């Protein structure tokens, strides 16, 4: 398992294990946007959370391959107004900010840092909020 896959899996597990998040989205936390039978993005199951873009840059830390990683977490709601989406935001940030995750495969990461966030309201579409995460990731293999 790559260190990136281990990180994504650990973040999903941390979100699924948080009672405040589960109270809003239940178990609807995905690695990508859910799709309907035609393959189009589906908002029928909202509210839900999905993992967005993961970007990395090489970092020099010790003798293992290491990476400065940014990852976006997106939450989607079809509720009226923006209150629902900001409730999700306000549950995600404390669940992940400074979280020390245990990664599979012997990979390691510094505590996650929530570095930015915001919403993208739209009149004719589901509302979405984004939380940007940052960590240093170390590959178990030198």
Q: What is the pLDDT of residues 58-82, one digit of tens each?
A: 987 777 789 999 999 999 988 877 8
Residue that the structure tokens 């309907």 belong to: 36
In this prediction, residues 116-120 reach a mean pLDDT of 90
SS3 of residue 62 by DSSP? coil
pLDDT surpassing 70 at residue 137: yes
What share of the chain in percent tops pLDDT 90? 66
pLDDT at 84: 87
Characterize the bridge pairing of strands 113-119 and 108-109.
Answer: unpaired
Q: How confident is the model at residue 123 (pLDDT cuts 50, 70, 90)?
A: low
Q: Which CATH number fits domain 3-138: 3.40.50.720, 3.40.50.280, 3.30.2000.30, 3.60.21.10?
A: 3.30.2000.30
Identify which has the larger pLDDT, 32 or 28. Answer: 28
Could you tell me the residue ranges of all domains in the chain?
3-138
CB neighbours of 5 closer than 8 A, spacing ≥ 6? none
3-state helix, strand, coil in the chain (%, to 5): 25, 35, 35
- The answer to whether the beta carbons of residues 69 and 55 sit under 8 Å apart is yes
pTM exceeding the 0.85 threshold for the entire prediction: yes
Query: Quick check: 46 pLDDT over 90?
Result: no
Confidence grade of residue 36 (pLDDT, cut at 50, 70, 90): confident
């Amino acid at each position: 398992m790559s260190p990136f896959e281990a990180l994504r899996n650990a973040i999903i597990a941390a979100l699924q294990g948080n009672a405040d998040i589960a109270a809003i989205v239940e178990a609807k936390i995905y690695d990508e946007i859910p799709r309907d039978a035609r393959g189009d993005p589906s908002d029928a199951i909202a509210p839900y959370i999905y993992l967005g873009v993961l970007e990395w840059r090489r970092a020099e830390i010790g003798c293992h391959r290491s990476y400065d990683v940014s990852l976006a977490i997106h939450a989607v709601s079809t509720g009226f107004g923006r209150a629902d989406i900001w409730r999700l935001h306000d549950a995600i940030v404390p669940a992940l900010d400074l979280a020390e995750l245990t990664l599979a495969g012997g990979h390691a990461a510094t505590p996650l840092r929530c570095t930015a966030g915001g919403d993208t309201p739209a009149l004719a579409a589901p509302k979405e909020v984004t939380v940007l995460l940052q960590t240093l990731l170390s590959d178990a293999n030198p």
